[in-house]
Amino acid sequence: MSTLPNRPSTALLVVDVQVDVVAAAHDRDTVVSNIRSIVDRARAGGVPVVWVQDSLDGASGTPDWQIVPELAPAMGEPVVHKDHGDAFEATDLEQVLAAGGIGHLVVTGAQTDACIRSTIHGAFTRGYDVTLVGDAHTTEDHTAYGAPAPADVIAHTNLYWQHQDAPGRTASVVATADVTF
């Protein structure tokens, strides 16, 4: 549905699944495996896969900055580098998506309570339809700082995202097994 004219296509967005970002992530191996499954299905269906890579406060180019070894962008898949939580802020993500006629994003990655939340809201307010894959995003344990446990952060994000609405746009949450392209 999207409010973006002439943008009927869907893309898979993989946000910040980098070595250091997910090193201590909740249920890391399962989430990375789920993302791998979705990436494989997207590629098999000819759906664009767009990768987002955080600068990690100047760690660009270091081993910790790399996308996890279980995942790798294929030749020709765009990699968007960012310095802010919202992957649209001060990046070329909008231009990449516009060039592909993308109006619907299927979102996976890390950190649920930071870059995932910022990016899904950023996409939605910019007019995109946004599907969050409920078992393909994760975060670290920040309970020492007063945050809820990671499983609760993930569950709460999935809960409120499925109830987002705005004129001409849709927000939804699906499980990895239910992602279709």
The tens place of each residue's pLDDT in the chain, 181 residues long, gives 799 999 999 999 999 999 999 999 999 999 999 999 999 999 999 999 999 999 877 667 788 889 999 999 999 999 999 999 999 999 999 999 999 999 999 999 999 999 999 999 999 999 999 999 999 999 999 999 999 999 999 999 999 999 999 999 999 999 999 999 9
Does the residue 1 lie in any domain? Answer: no
Do the Cβ atoms of 125 and 84 come closer than 8 Å?
A: no
Does the residue 119 lie in any domain? Answer: yes
Partners of 173 in beta bridges:
132
- pLDDT recorded at residue 58: 63
Write the DSSP string, 27-53.
THHHHHHHHHHHHHHHHHTT--EEEEE
- pLDDT recorded at residue 63: 85
Q: What does the alpha-carbon distance between residue 55 and residue 84 come to, in Å, rounded to a whole number? A: 9
Q: What does the alpha-carbon distance between residue 124 and residue 23 come to, in Å, rounded to a whole number? A: 29
Does the residue 149 lie in any domain? Answer: yes
Q: What does the alpha-carbon distance between residue 106 and residue 21 come to, in Å, rounded to a whole number? A: 20
Does the residue 163 lie in any domain? Answer: yes
Q: Which CATH number does the domain housing residue 49 bear?
A: 3.40.50.850
Do the Cβ atoms of 169 and 2 come closer than 8 Å?
A: yes
Q: Is 113 exposed, middle or buried (0-12, 13-18, 19+ CB in 10 A)?
A: buried
- pLDDT recorded at residue 60: 74
This prediction has a pTM of 0.97
Does the residue 22 lie in any domain? Answer: yes
Does the residue 152 lie in any domain? Answer: yes
Q: Residue 88: give the domain boundaries.
A: 9-178
Do the Cβ atoms of 84 and 121 come closer than 8 Å?
A: no
Does the residue 2 lie in any domain? Answer: no
Q: What does the alpha-carbon distance between residue 139 and residue 114 come to, in Å, rounded to a whole number? A: 8
Does the residue 3 lie in any domain? Answer: no
- The total number of structural domains in the chain stands at 1
